[in-house]
Amino acid sequence: ATDTLDASASSNGPGFGILWSGPGITPANQNDIMPVVDVAGVYTLQITNNGNMCSSSSQVNVSEDILPPVADAGNDPTIDCVN
In eight-state DSSP terms, residue 44 is: E
Ramachandran area for residue 33 (φ above 0: left; ψ -120 to 50: alpha; else beta): alpha
- The residue with greater pLDDT, 82 or 50, is 50
Query: What pLDDT score does 60 carry?
Result: 96
Residue 3 to residue 40: CA distance in whole angstroms:
9
Chain segment 12-65, per-residue pLDDT in tens: 899 999 999 999 999 999 999 999 999 999 999 999 999 999 999 999 999 987
